[in-house]
A and B are shown apart, each in its own frame.
Chain A
């Protein structure tokens, strides 16, 4: 099977044209541009999560831990040792990956699965949150006031948007590569039925670890961009509800579907901001309330997620 067939590259090209077009259209309005950058970064994390959640079927709820760990590592390398973030993000990714694998090894070895894996990863976020709070204190730490591509800290939101777009394209390509390769084949098999996969000789632990490693590395590296948007970091970056949101977006998009993941991330994050800004002052919490209702509706009525919808549309197009 071809790794990168024509259809996929075509779809990617169209997607990129849309994204860039949107970027140019919004570049005059700093509010919308910042929002677009935030939404796109959120899509990056959801699309990356797809590797462990969608392709491998593991309910990982620790993405904010990897994000924070990687981002803080990159920031500290810059602040203390002067390492420019353009290089530092690789170290950040490595540290996040290191922790993930360190915990993943015994976890997979001892067969922790499904809901227990989910809870364990959620606890990891809380443990790190408490640990950093204890060692770092409640203080916020600010990024140095230096701008430039080498610091991954552009002066305009538009350039930030472009950087995030580049990362997104990379993540999409990684997803496609894995999906269409031998690894993806094994991961899918594990997702469908882990027990059966073991019995036909697939080393499930090794492949799960690989998926975990890739996902945590990218999440850790991209974590720095999240700090750039906040322009500061603190122990609060280890946020369970963010990790849960990312996983949920992946589910709503349809497990395994890269287009579904991105679509759900973009739609719901934008919708969330719209509800917050238009209704937040009127009836506090209404935006979160509607968000919750939507989750229930999608979960109950259409569990295949947005990907299911896309398939229906594609079939209609094919007629």
Chain B
């Protein structure tokens, strides 16, 4: 007993000393932070490089998107640094990216943003693909006056009253609207009347927002929505829903799936013999991407989906990027990569503008913001617009692109292989939309 007591005071003393040292270090560190915030660049002349923070989901359900986006970023940065000579108005400053995993919850996305800001002092962050992660990140970036350029599509994000927020990609509801407009356009062109529709969507915020956009557009154009069915994206059995749709017998179906459920729907619909005038997807997930085609086979033949990016757009720079992406990574760039392409090039344009407009302090958040707002990009004056479906990029005060729009891809049999091809607004060379579905 006596020997036990005798050690403890010594240990207490050691612990107290460590605690005091730690507190002292902390205090020193804390007070050193009170000097000008690192995001304000010193007024010394040359900026060697501009570091852009990228937060993407690299683990969890959405890892596919994140991985693709990061690959696209590396490609774009290479081109900007080596072919275009960096940001010319900043003396040829190179772009550098730091990638953080958004993790699997808003908590980790927020941590990722905090890390980028406090350790790398980035002036701009791109991410985080998933809307609710981006909302958590946005509170941090807005508080710290860091520009957030997002690839997350839910409408709500641009309704938060944020000042340092920009989104080049078309928001969720425009995907829903595009899908409906495409179907109705084709119906008109082929003299087919569409009277009734059924909407089905996976029930996340994204799926719901896209479907609401579609629903409103259908109502506006006088089509009766017989049912609007929400289901959990990890659903394992689609047959009750397919059976219900079969009973309702609508002219068209607008479907907003995630991935597995998309494949499941297509296969179940085929088995049940469900064949309305048309089945159109919206929201860029499922049906027409290479992996879904691989998994579903000809069950997805003639299905369409809307995309924030058109890989077949015939402009010079777009073709170049697509080829290079395919060469490096062995697959065609899709949604996540495409959004990165034009968003990162838009950032590049904004940096160039900032350097021209504010040569003394280009990376100041308010200066950067003004640079973004002053952009008016078209295919003839920028690379970014050449990569964008509508060919025009200009920001509204709330940060959304005034000229937002999607492309529509359809799965067709080309030379015996199931291939996704662009059919709207301008079909790609040698191709036209197949409407209505054969057999109806």
- Tell whether A and B belong to one assembly: yes
Task: Let me know if A144 is at the binding interface, CB within 8 A.
Answer: no
Q: Given the complex, which residues of B lie within 8 Å of A106, measured CB to CB? A: none
A64 to B258, CA, bound (A): 26
A133 to B203, CA, bound (A): 9
Task: Let me know if B106 is at the binding interface, CB within 8 A.
Answer: yes
A30/B117 in contact, CB under 8 A: yes
Question: B residues 119-137 with Cβ under 8 Å of A?
Answer: 119, 132, 135-136
Contact partner of B23 (CB less than 8 A), chosen from A24, A138, A284, is A24
A31/B111 in contact, CB under 8 A: yes
Task: Let me know if A318 is at the binding interface, CB within 8 A.
Answer: yes
Q: Given the complex, which residues of A lie within 8 Å of B208, measured CB to CB? A: 137-139
A14/B12 in contact, CB under 8 A: yes
Q: How far is the CB of A161 from chain B (nearest CB, A)?
A: 12
Q: Are A24 and B27 also in contact (CB < 8 A) when A231-B136, A232-B136, A277-B100 are?
A: yes
Task: Let me know if B228 is at the binding interface, CB within 8 A.
Answer: no
Q: Are A229 and B22 also in contact (CB < 8 A) when A30-B118, A281-B58 are?
A: no
B112/A277 in contact, CB under 8 A: yes
Q: How far is the CB of B192 from chain A (nearest CB, A)?
A: 34
A18/B70 in contact, CB under 8 A: no
Q: How far is the CB of B253 from chain A (nearest CB, A)?
A: 21
Q: How far is the CB of B432 from chain A (nearest CB, A)?
A: 37
Q: Which residue of A lies closest to B28 (CB)?
A: A28
Chain A contact residues: helix, strand, loop or mixed? helix
A20 to B26, CA, bound (A): 11
Task: Let me know if A285 is at the binding interface, CB within 8 A.
Answer: yes
Q: Are A276 and B16 also in contact (CB < 8 A) when A31-B114, A230-B136, A284-B63 are?
A: no
Place the interface of chain A in its size category.
35 or more
Contact partner of A17 (CB less than 8 A), chosen from B15, B111, B118, is B15
B99/A281 in contact, CB under 8 A: yes
Q: Given the complex, which residues of B lie within 8 Å of A287, measured CB to CB? A: 59
B23/A280 in contact, CB under 8 A: no
Q: Are A35 and B111 also in contact (CB < 8 A) when A30-B118, A280-B58, A318-B3 are?
A: yes
Q: Which residue of B lies closest to A230 (CB)?
A: B106
Q: Are A28 and B205 also in contact (CB < 8 A) when A276-B103, A280-B103 are?
A: no
A22/B22 in contact, CB under 8 A: yes
Pairs of residues from A and B, 10 with the lowest C-beta to C-beta distance, nearest first: A280-B101, A25-B26, A21-B19, A24-B26, A31-B114, A28-B29, A28-B30, A318-B4, A31-B115, A21-B22
Chain A positions within 8 Å of B, measured between CB atoms, are: 10, 14, 17-18, 20-32, 34-35, 38, 133, 137-140, 142, 229-232, 234, 236, 273, 276-277, 280-281, 284-285, 287-288, 317-319
13 contacts across the A-B interface (CB closer than 8 A):
A20-B19, A21-B19, A21-B20, A23-B26, A24-B27, A28-B26, A29-B118, A30-B114, A133-B232, A232-B132, A276-B103, A284-B58, A319-B3
- Seed contacts A23-B26, A288-B59; 7 additional CB < 8 Å A-B pairs: A24-B23, A27-B30, A28-B32, A31-B115, A138-B208, A139-B208, A281-B58
